[in-house]
Structure 1
Amino acid sequence: MFTQIIKFTVKPQYQQSFKDALITNKNGTRKEKGNTDMAIFVDNTNPNMFFAYERWQDATAFEFHKNQPYTQDFITLLGDTLATAPQVYKVKDTKPYPVAITPANPEDDIFSIFFIFPIHSEFRQPLLTQFEEHIQHTRQENGNLLFDLYTVKDDDNTLVVYEHWRKESDVWDIHFNQPYAKITGAIMEQAVVGDMQQYMNFVSEITE
């Protein structure tokens, strides 16, 4: 698999045009034979911040994607619209491996998170080991729809958590009170560089 997460920060005056171009790119990408997942999001507190989650069968499928007209049009647009350079995270699967998202119910008020955080190197392996158990238990919670952990290619000291929940209270009121989550949290308090909250982006999927 070839997976990447991209964070875009857009100039305010280009917010709508960028969003429209992102939707066009997503719609084209999802038709590609080699694409297995493509989702786009906007930050809940900053309407000028967008995320793309992209997953392909392999690097060859991604190369095909880069050469499509809608991708080239989107890349051309970036030069004028972005306030800062895009942050591209080429990520690698960890165990347990990513799984398909659990279907939401019509009444669900989906709460999604990108948590991209730097860690002190000595805590890398303890965190990866703890997350194996953490993810197995989390995926069994009724409120969880998706919970994946990734490492970042060429950056051993950054980890990425990508998660979806049926509603926000499933995270704060239920998940973080689970015994395994408390153990993970205690390790995270020591492992993460600085305040964890600064690395959390709460986002909403753009479906139109």
Structure 2
Amino acid sequence: MLNQIVKFTVKPEYQAEFKAALMTNKQGAANEAGNVEMKMFVDNSNPNVFFAYERWADKAALEHHMTLPHTAAMMALFELALEQPVEVFHLGETNPLPIAIKPADPEDEVFIIFFIFKINPQMRQQLLAQFEEHIKHSRTEQGNLLFDLYTVKGDDSTLAVYEHWRKESDVWDIHFQQPYAKITGALMEQAVVGDMQQYMNFVTEI
């Protein structure tokens, strides 16, 4: 399995055109045998920032995707539309492994987070060990729909958390008040480079 998160920062005047190209690419990928999952998101605080979460059967499937017309049409916009270069995070799986998302209920608001953060590499193993317990407990919370942690291949100083919650208050009022989350939080305060808030992206699926 090949997983990746892709971040696009677009010039305001190209926002609508680029969003349409992203959705066309997603629709095209849905018909590709090698595509396991592709989801598109827009940042809640900046409508010019988009994220793609992609899962591919293997490297060959992604390479084939890059040759197809719906991908070429999106990439043709890059030179004019992008405010800054595309950021691609090639993800490595951790324990426990990623799992399928739980179904949301009709009344769920669904609060989604990409938390891609820099750490002191010397604390990496300690942090990964704590996240093993953190993830196990998080997935049992009633408000949690998905909680996955990834390493970033080729970069020991970066980790990525991908989360879905039934509503925002399930994160701030319940999740972060759990004893295990407080232990993780204290460790994160030591391990994360700079202010943690700068790495948090709250997004909506499009």
Q: TM-score, normalised by structure 2?
A: 0.99
Deviations along 1:159-191, one digit per CA (max 9) or x if unpaired, are 000000000000000000111111100000000
Does residue 63 (structure 1) correspond to residue 63 (structure 2)? The answer is yes
Q: Distance in 1 between matches of 2:26 and 2:78?
A: 15
Q: Which residue of 1 aligns with 2:195?
A: 195
* Structure 2 letter corresponding to 1:147: F
**Large movers: runs of 4+ above 2 Å:** none
1:1-208 paired onto structure 2 within 5 Å: 1-206=1-206
What value does the CA root-mean-square deviation take over the aligned residues? 0.6
SS at structure 1 position matched to 2:103: coil
SS at structure 2 position matched to 1:124: helix
SS at structure 2 position matched to 1:198: helix
Cα offset, 1:33, TM superposition: 1.1
Q: Distance in 2 between matches of 1:107 and 1:69?
A: 38
Deviations along 1:126-155, one digit per CA (max 9) or x if unpaired, are 000000010011011110010000000110
Q: Distance in 2 between matches of 1:176 and 1:35?
A: 34
Could you tell me which runs of 5 or more consecutive residues in structure 1 were left unpaired when the two chains were aligned. Answer: none
* Structure 2 letter corresponding to 1:169: S
Identical pairs, percent: 65
Q: Distance in 1 between matches of 2:35 and 2:103?
A: 19
Deviations along 1:65-117, one digit per CA (max 9) or x if unpaired, are 11111011111111110000011101111110001111111110010000000
Cα offset, 1:61, TM superposition: 1.0
Q: TM-score, normalised by structure 1?
A: 0.98
Count of residue pairs the alignment pairs up: 206
SS at structure 1 position matched to 2:39: strand
Q: Distance in 2 between matches of 1:179 and 1:124?
A: 21
SS at structure 1 position matched to 2:163: strand
Cα offset, 1:121, TM superposition: 1.1
Q: Distance in 2 between matches of 1:25 and 1:150?
A: 24
Q: Distance in 1 between matches of 2:70 and 2:98?
A: 28
SS at structure 1 position matched to 2:186: helix
Cα offset, 1:194, TM superposition: 0.4
